Structure 1
Amino acid sequence: MAVLHSAPKIASNEGVLDTLAKALGDRVIAAKEEHGEIVITVQRDAIEDALRILRDDHAYQQMMEIAGVDYPDQAERFEVVYMLLSLTRNHRVMVKVSTDENTPVPTITTLWPNAGWLEREVFDLYGVKFAGNPDLRRILTDYGFEGHPFRKDFPLTGYFELRYSEDEKRVVYEPVELAQDLRQFDFLSPWEGADYVLPGDEKAATPPVDEPKTTESPAQTGAGAKTDAKAAEKVSAEAPAEEETDVEADAPEPTEDRPDRPEREGGAKDTSAATEPENKEDDA
């Protein structure tokens, strides 16, 4: 027997945007469907009421994540994004608010206790403050860290870093030591070249020679019959094969030319006789 479940495998967005925007009323600044997701931007001070309505009246039971986004060119450069999930309908919705460096966002720890940790993350990495959070402290960076990493405004060198020393059993301050300085790239195409001169490229700027040396005839190269003859005389004078050498008069004659030499005594037989069988009739 097939069992029907209230949560479909693939939830449809049909009619959801209009329903939620109407339920939130004047709290909504903008609402749209983008990349298959429902995105609703609400007023900053009304975020707690808007999320309570979505949780209690539209079955978005779980607050899955809180994320921060930084747009430095905007007046309110930060966006706080809340991602809600409806377990009974298998549907998600994203709710956004905007703020700046100094204006706090109301906390939603009154709705979901796990929001405390997530708000601490956004505060630590972006510097967004949450009014009403009972424990708004850094959660990822070290003690005494100045600045917020996701703003990309923290110092790279020339400052101090903190670490826990096992030897001294306390947090110690040490100058920052980078294995490699921050490199500045010009982002130019390698085919276009850079504005600065690389080592070795200064040779390419050498002006051409006014009168280049050419070797159009053998006289310009120093080659020719006269040069070859002079080189041959030099080699012949120093070559040992060309020098006359005296041959010793008492040198022995080669053994092949001494028929008077007696034969060597030994037990070896003649090769052909040694390889022939003794009884040829038996072999036949």
Structure 2
Amino acid sequence: MASMPVLHSAPKFASNEGVIEALSAALGSMLVSAKEEHGEVVFTVARDQIENALRLLRDEHEYQQLMEMAGVDYPSRAERFEVVYMLLSVTKNHRVMVKVSAAENTPVPTVTTVWPVAGWLEREVFDMYGVIFAGNPDLRRILTDYGFEGHPQRKDFPLTGYVELRYSEEDKRVVYEPVKLAQDFRSFDFMSPWEGADYVLPGDEKADTPPVEEPKTTEKKGVSGAGEPTNSEAAKKVSPPAPATKDSGKPEKDAPAHTDSRPHEEDEDGDDGKGDKS
């Protein structure tokens, strides 16, 4: 049997050894930081140099494919967003990640000039996080509905959103309504409906605890714990039930005849009930 032709010399398993040093030297002044994290090689580059950095990695270091782009939100940072580019070298069988940071009003240069597919990926990051990509020829929402307000994957975006979209059978169209919180999405101040909070909520300090004169108990029979009217009703005697009937073994008057024979019951003439009685 003829062996399969080898299309390229990519190793089955690629190593990160020497990658950080080699690519850091190649990126030069464009590089902000480089590290290996969770088995992944991660480079952070200057935002205004992202297009040049990715083109260099594609043309001179064989990272031919932009596999994915992702956004990350860190609200406590001055530049709260990170945009992550995930690159693959099919000839080296190796992946690297390149990151840039951006603020809400700081645009990131588009990389559609390096990989046209980035147009779709940048639209998704824009839709979910609100990151602006300068130079993208078609920067508009790609996942959310027309007229959607906000960016759903920001940390400050409410879990339930701001409006509820549904199809109205009455109006025969899609309508927007204020969100109605279901039980699953409500925030309670206690662990369960039977156990209240052990602290005073704002406004509750003015409320007095309802007095309990004495606890209701049901220590003896006839005391229901619900007051005298209920006790009186509970104490009333009821008529005894009808006695249970006992089987005498004799057929009752006007009882219908058996339709089939039973092993322990035979007619007086020895007929087993299956014979012809005509």
Q: TM-score range by the shorter chain?
A: 0.5 to 0.7
Aligned to 1:180: 183
Q: How many Å separate the matches in 2 of 1:165 and 1:194?
A: 40
Q: CA 1:7–1:98 in structure 2 vs 1: closer, same or farther (change >3 Å)?
A: same
8 A contact 1:105–1:129 mirrored in 2: yes
User: Which one of 11, 19, 26 corresponds to residue 8 of structure 1?
Assistant: 11
Residue 76 of structure 1: how far off its partner (Å): 0.5
Aligned to 2:227: none
Q: CA 1:157–1:72 in structure 2 vs 1: closer, same or farther (change >3 Å)?
A: closer
| Gap regions ≥5 residues in structure 2 | 201-208, 216-278
The answer to whether residue 80 in structure 2 is matched with residue 77 in structure 1 is yes
Residue 160 of structure 1: how far off its partner (Å): 3.9
- Give the partner amino acid of 1:93: V
8 A contact 1:64–1:84 mirrored in 2: yes
Instruction: Give the superposed CA RMSD.
Output: 3.4
8 A contact 2:75–2:155 mirrored in 1: no
The answer to whether residue 118 in structure 2 is matched with residue 133 in structure 1 is no
8 A contact 1:147–1:153 mirrored in 2: no
Q: Deviations over 1:138-184 (max 9, x none)?
A: 11111111111111434567954345668767553333333337422
Q: How many Å separate the matches in 1 of 2:102 and 2:175?
A: 35
Q: How many Å separate the matches in 2 of 1:183 and 1:153?
A: 17
Q: CA 1:41–1:194 in structure 2 vs 1: closer, same or farther (change >3 Å)?
A: same
Aligned to 2:263: none
| Gap regions ≥5 residues in structure 1 | 210-284
Q: Deviations over 1:169-218 (max 9, x none)?
A: 75533333333374225698xxxx94259xxxx99x98999xxxxxxxxx
Residue 72 of structure 1: how far off its partner (Å): 0.7
Aligned to 2:151: 148
The answer to whether residue 100 in structure 2 is matched with residue 91 in structure 1 is no
Aligned to 1:38: 41
8 A contact 2:81–2:102 mirrored in 1: yes
Aligned to 1:240: none
Relative to its length, the structure with more helix (as a share) is 1
Residue 90 of structure 1: how far off its partner (Å): 0.1
Q: How many Å separate the matches in 2 of 1:80 and 1:87?
A: 23
Map residues 268-279 of structure 1 onto 2, 5 A cutoff: none
Q: How many Å separate the matches in 1 of 2:28 and 2:95?
A: 20
- Give the partner amino acid of 1:141: T
Bigger mean CA deviation after superposition, 112-121 or 149-158: 149-158
Map residues 204-283 of structure 1 onto 2, 5 A cutoff: none
Number of residue pairs aligned between Structure 1 and Structure 2: 202
8 A contact 1:80–1:96 mirrored in 2: yes
Aligned to 2:236: none
- Percent identity of equivalent pairs: 75
The answer to whether residue 73 in structure 2 is matched with residue 66 in structure 1 is no
Q: How many Å separate the matches in 1 of 2:190 and 2:67?
A: 39
Q: Counterpart of 1:151 in 2: which secondary structure?
A: coil
- Give the partner amino acid of 2:53: A
Q: How many Å separate the matches in 2 of 1:57 and 1:187?
A: 60
Aligned to 2:117: 114
Q: CA 1:157–1:26 in structure 2 vs 1: closer, same or farther (change >3 Å)?
A: closer
Q: Counterpart of 1:53 in 2: which secondary structure?
A: helix
Q: Counterpart of 1:149 in 2: which secondary structure?
A: coil
Q: CA 1:51–1:159 in structure 2 vs 1: closer, same or farther (change >3 Å)?
A: closer
User: Which one of 25, 28, 47 corresponds to residue 25 of structure 1?
Assistant: 28
Q: How many Å separate the matches in 2 of 1:148 and 1:20?
A: 34
- Give the partner amino acid of 2:86: M
8 A contact 1:158–1:175 mirrored in 2: no
8 A contact 1:116–1:133 mirrored in 2: yes
Q: How many Å separate the matches in 2 of 1:187 and 1:37?
A: 42
Q: Which has the larger radius of gyration?
A: 1
Q: Deviations over 1:126-148 (max 9, x none)?
A: 11010001111111111111111
Residue 13 of structure 1: how far off its partner (Å): 1.1
Aligned to 2:264: none
